[in-house]
Amino acid sequence: MGKKAVVIITAAAVCAAAAALVVRHRMRSSGRWARATAIIKEVEEKCGTPIGKLRQVADAMAVEMHAGLASEGGSKLKMIISYVDNLPTGTEKGLFYALDLGGTNFRVMRVQLGGKGRGIISQEFTEVSIPENLMVGTSDALFDYIAAELAKFVAKEGQDYQLPPGRQRELGFTFSFPVQQSSINSGTLIKWTKGFSIDDAVGQDVVAELSKAIEKQGLDMRVSALVNDTVGTLAGGRYVNGDVVAAVILGTGTNAAYVERAHAIPKWHGLLPKSGDMVINMEWGNFKSAHLPLTEYDHSLDTESLNPGDQIFEKLISGMYLGEIVRRVLCKIAEEASLFGDTVPPKLKVPFILRTPDMSAMHHDTSSDLKVVRDILKNVLEISNTSLKIRKVVVELCNIVATRGARLAAAGIVGVLKKVGKDALKDGEKQRTVVALDGGLYEHYNEYSKCMENTLRELLGEEVSESIVIEHSNDGSGIGAALLAASHSQYLGVDEA
């Protein structure tokens, strides 16, 4: 055999080996895609929310509401009596303050209410951050700091704000931590959350603590109402629209509050309020039902959370967790299908690195090459050189997780409407029922809010859904508290004119 023949045979062998490598790579690649597709398909099936399942969730929500109203601890839903029995009517008049403490910042606000037909004449607020040392210090130190900032704000009251002579200023206090309320303006702190840890405040009446600090500042101000942010949203919604019956927050966390007939609350042992109504703070994030479509990713997220077994509904539908569920699925695809290369990108293993605003931006990407998805994968997860095919998988996954959350949120709302008898039309009745919604998730994640509203229509049917209105109630936790100070003012009836 000559040299020429050897070269030809060697070249042929090299070509054959290269072809074999290409075939093997393609087979491996198609195997990876088959596995990735199988994982996505399984997630889609497990996250499924057919209309029948959603009706079961709505029914379960209504059943749990009944149980929570019957006795303390009777349900995963706390169904907390808020002591708000007078919601604003739009006729309130005068100067009122609000203090909103719910995290590392707090806001103080003032509003001048003009009375019937005039609404809010003017409003101003300031936001103050709380020094870290005060979040783990003493009760006195925290409330003294807040009262000092409040006093500074009151000192800047301008000509637009008029307090009748001889009157005390009145304040609504939004306190978004677990509290056992005992009246409209008293409540005992059960525990701190959100990075606060002030032991000597636990078990104390937070209104008494704030009032003591206000007095030290020489400020003549009465705390008229202690409210949670969802109850504040309900008050803000009702002030603008008398048909508001419930409020839902869909933000980092989630909650709902609604107006209940006082005689339908078996665990209420006080005198029935004159209005006959009582606002209930559901704490619906803690809702749990066998009908909720849970996946292995939800179970692992819950197990590794700070509150395993609690807030299951919140972990499925709220902004804190949606991006994290997507990350967990992507991590599994990276591990089992090597979608992002032979090793799992280190950043993909970091819990909560993929925030829901990033997920929303990817879900809303309409560019032909999904540029936004490419940039977020690169900048947040340090995954470069992704193909369009991979980016499409990511968008599909965002859609699956957001759709489940939005449809379950709609089922929750239908459960509340069912409990108050607004889920069906009564003969000859032309009713209009309004649900006030607030929260960044609802406000900014358009695909989520659109899907939720479409699902509401699907669940209620065309005729009933025409009478149900979702209204965005912006900043209920601030203005709502001031409005509740007005509707529970000590001067009510003194000058109705």
Which are the catalytic amino acids?
A: 194, 229
Quick one: DSSP state of residue 255? E
Structure tokens at 333: 């695809």
DSSP 127-160: EEEPPHHHHTS-HHHHHHHHHHHHHHHHHT--TT
CB 337 within 8 A of CB 32: yes
- In whole angstroms, what is the distance from residue 102 CA to residue 135 CA? 12
- Angle CA 268–476–404, to nearest 5: 85
Handedness of CA 381, 386, 390, 396 (dihedral sign): positive
- Angle CA 324–78–224, to nearest 5: 105
Residue that the structure tokens 């009745």 belong to: 429
Residue that the structure tokens 């088959």 belong to: 34
The amino acid at 289: S
Nearest to 398 by CA among 370, 431, 437: 370
- Angle CA 111–114–118, to nearest 5: 120
Separation in Å, CA 267 to CA 70, 87, 378: 5, 21, 54
- In whole angstroms, what is the distance from residue 96 CA to residue 88 CA? 13
β pairing state of 433-438 and 244-250: parallel
Quick one: DSSP state of residue 273? P
Exposed (0-12), middle (13-18) or buried (19+): which is 385, by Cβ within 10 Å?
exposed
Structure tokens at 44: 């889609």
The amino acid at 333: I
- Angle CA 335–339–341, to nearest 5: 85
Q: Is 261 helix (H, G, I), strand (E, B) or coil?
A: strand
- In whole angstroms, what is the distance from residue 352 CA to residue 334 CA? 17
CB 398 within 8 A of CB 376: no
- In whole angstroms, what is the distance from residue 60 CA to residue 414 CA? 11
Q: Is 39 helix (H, G, I), strand (E, B) or coil?
A: helix
- Angle CA 234–240–242, to nearest 5: 75
> What is the Rg, in whole angstroms, of the alpha carbon atoms belonging to the chain?
28
